Amino acid sequence: MLTFLAGQPLVLLALLLLVGAAVGNVRIRGVQVGPAAVLFGAIGISALGAANGVKLAVPEVVGTLGLVLFTYTVGIISGPSFFASLRRGWPFMVSMAAVFVVAALLAVGVGRWLGLPMPVVAGTFAGGLTNTPALAAATERSADPAGPTIGYSIAYLWGVVGMLLAAAWSLGHRGDEEPGSEPLVHQTIRVERTDAPTLGEVALQFGSRVTFSRLRHGHADSETLVADAAERLDRGDLVTVVGPRDVVGKVTAALGHASSHDIVDDRHDLDFRRVTISNPALAGRTLAEVDLDSRFGAHVSRVRRGDLDLVATPGFVLQMGDRVRVVSSTARLPEVSSYLGDSDRGMSDINPGGFALGLGLGLLLGLVHIPLPGGGFSIGAAAGTLLVGLVFGRVGRLGPVITSMPSGAAQSLSHLGMIIFLAYAGTRAGGQIAAAVQSDVGWKAAVVGVVVTTTTALLLLVTGRLLHGVAGVRQAGILAGAQTQPAILAFVNDRTGFDPRVGLGYVLVYPAAMIAKILIVQILAGLG
């Protein structure tokens, strides 16, 4: 059987993914083992082959393909939130990068003191911070491709458990943390103001965190209109606002009071429908550019992307697969649906042209040599595709070329790429892992891994509370994002009932954490 698998690498890959899927569903104290099971399964099976004199390996080109699929689609998914958070989130990113540098210096110091090769130290750093693209970058950069995976495998377990404990501590010590924003709601308001503000002016007053969907002037029996930003509010008008619960409450107090008449339920004049964006001509366009108001007299009140409901502001950039809630006259809803596409194809179309362009540009960027004293280095395929993915995910379109892809399709490709690369990395290390664990390399890498994870967790907790005044739920989300670890995100979401602050903290730092780890680990791998 082992000999057969050695000659059939694709069958071997399928077996590794199957074993990883089975073991990955195992829950330990409510947390799934997850994709890391593929790595450990691959190490175990390839180690079994080595013990019997058979080399089991997934081809390098297959592993590289999995790597760039993963990093590029992570960039596509994270691009919009990453650039949107730069203005308010850069202090978090800078302090987080500084924490990683401190952890890296400690890893080098302790690793050299213990006599570990630098490729193993680099992999241990990646494992202590549970970052697969960093492992890939270390493998690319290192003179010993198996060394990083050995260190990664040994350090990974505490990398997950240690940061889980830090997140649990943060949740248990919330201090004076303010309550988080609520999910999106709507409220019909009876206007009491007499200064006749426009709907656009009111939205700007609250940071464009709300939108208005319906307006009824004067009497409750008047015709219900689609809300337009230029419409003015008069005393006695009824208007429906959409946004987070806490902000909607503030808007209600600022305009008047909650009305007993809910004009959303009254579908005599207007109706609403969820419509899927599948018209390629609209992908990468803002809602203002799509301009449903002048075309159809329609309005988008919210957008569902993945599992999140988002307020539909004029500057919101649409992606294929977005599900928009459209408010329109009943007669014109079919026209609006037809224009937007309203096909399930929009949720699964990977957009081959833009996908190939982004992947190719990322691979080329990864080949660019960055000169430094002593030789310099290339950022590698992992970092190159991640950076291009971030930009492509943000812009959405370059002329006629759509650069984004539906959230569901990107997440599926990302997961597939990750487990393919983990299978490849595991088979590369499996032949050496048994000897490494039995030798002093095993315990030495474990020591370095504990130092990296523990130092990072403690410094993130301290800097978050003392420098940025962040604690509790949001800090737990930031810890998960800094560790780039979905298992920690799942744990925190489960403990908080999917508090929105968790996801906001996660996406705030995740892309920057990914980039910083990849760059740092390549420097570490190049030291040896």
Q: Is the pLDDT of residue 100 over 90?
A: yes
Q: Please tell me whether residues 402 and 466 are part of one structural domain.
A: yes
Q: How crowded is residue 241: how many other Cβ atoms within 10 Å of its Cβ?
A: 26
Q: Is the pLDDT of residue 417 over 70?
A: yes
Q: Please tell me whether residues 322 and 382 are part of one structural domain.
A: no
Q: Is the pLDDT of residue 101 over 90?
A: yes
DSSP H or E segment with residue 186: strand 184-191
Least confident of 56-60, 105-109, 382-386: 382-386
Listed residues 347, 378, 399: the one ending a domain: 347
In three-state secondary structure terms, 183 is: coil
The predicted-structure confidence for 314-330, as pLDDT tens digits, reads as follows 888 887 888 889 888 88
Q: Is residue 117 included in any domain, yes or no? A: yes
Q: Helices 500-527 and 60-114: crossing angle, nearest 10°?
A: 80
Instruction: Please say whether the dihedral angle defined by the alpha carbons of residues 217, 218, 219 and 222, taken in this order, is positive or negative.
Output: negative
Q: Is residue 47 included in any domain, yes or no? A: no
Q: Please tell me whether residues 509 and 394 are part of one structural domain.
A: yes
Give the whole-angstrom CA distance, residue 215 versus residue 228.
9
Q: How many domains does the chain have?
A: 2
β-strand partners of 310: 303
- Predicted confidence at residue 99, as pLDDT, reads 96
Instruction: Give me 415's structure tokens.
Output: 């997961």
Q: Is residue 283 included in any domain, yes or no? A: yes
Q: Is residue 424 included in any domain, yes or no? A: no
Q: Please tell me whether residues 298 and 382 are part of one structural domain.
A: no
pLDDT band at 113 (very low <50, low <70, confident <90, very high): very high
Give the whole-angstrom CA distance, residue 475 versus residue 169.
10
Q: Please tell me whether residues 244 and 374 are part of one structural domain.
A: no
The number of angstroms, rounded, from the C-alpha of 408 to the middle of its chain's C-alpha atoms is 12
Alpha helices in 25-59 (DSSP H): 36-51
Q: Please tell me whether residues 219 and 106 are part of one structural domain.
A: no
Segments forming the whole domain that contains residue 303: 184-347
pLDDT band at 376 (very low <50, low <70, confident <90, very high): low
The predicted-structure confidence for 341-361, as pLDDT tens digits, reads as follows 887 766 677 788 889 999 999
Q: Is residue 24 included in any domain, yes or no? A: no
Q: Please tell me whether residues 509 and 465 are part of one structural domain.
A: yes
- Number of continuous H segments (helices) and E segments (strands) in the chain: 20, 15
Type of residue found at 435: A
Distance from first CA to last CA of the chain, Å, rounded? Answer: 38
- Predicted confidence at residue 346, as pLDDT, reads 63
pLDDT band at 52 (very low <50, low <70, confident <90, very high): confident
Alpha helices in 188-276 (DSSP H): 199-205, 245-255
Q: Is residue 19 included in any domain, yes or no? A: no
The number of angstroms, rounded, from the C-alpha of 483 to the middle of its chain's C-alpha atoms is 12
- Predicted confidence at residue 102, as pLDDT, reads 96
Q: Is residue 414 included in any domain, yes or no? A: yes
Q: Please tell me whether residues 405 and 340 are part of one structural domain.
A: no
Q: Is the pLDDT of residue 205 over 60?
A: yes
b/e per residue 305-314 (b: at least 16 CB within 10 A): beeebebbbb
In three-state secondary structure terms, 257 is: strand
Q: Is the pLDDT of residue 32 over 70?
A: no
Type of residue found at 138: A
Q: Please tell me whether residues 143 and 284 are part of one structural domain.
A: no
Q: Please tell me whether residues 273 and 393 are part of one structural domain.
A: no
Q: Please tell me whether residues 326 and 455 are part of one structural domain.
A: no
The CATH number given to whatever domain includes residue 195 is: 3.30.70.1450
Q: Please tell me whether residues 208 and 321 are part of one structural domain.
A: yes
The predicted-structure confidence for 466-507, as pLDDT tens digits, reads as follows 888 888 888 998 998 898 876 677 677 767 766 767 766 777
Q: Give whole-number Cα distances, 206 to 232, 252, 254, 511, in Å.
A: 17, 12, 10, 28
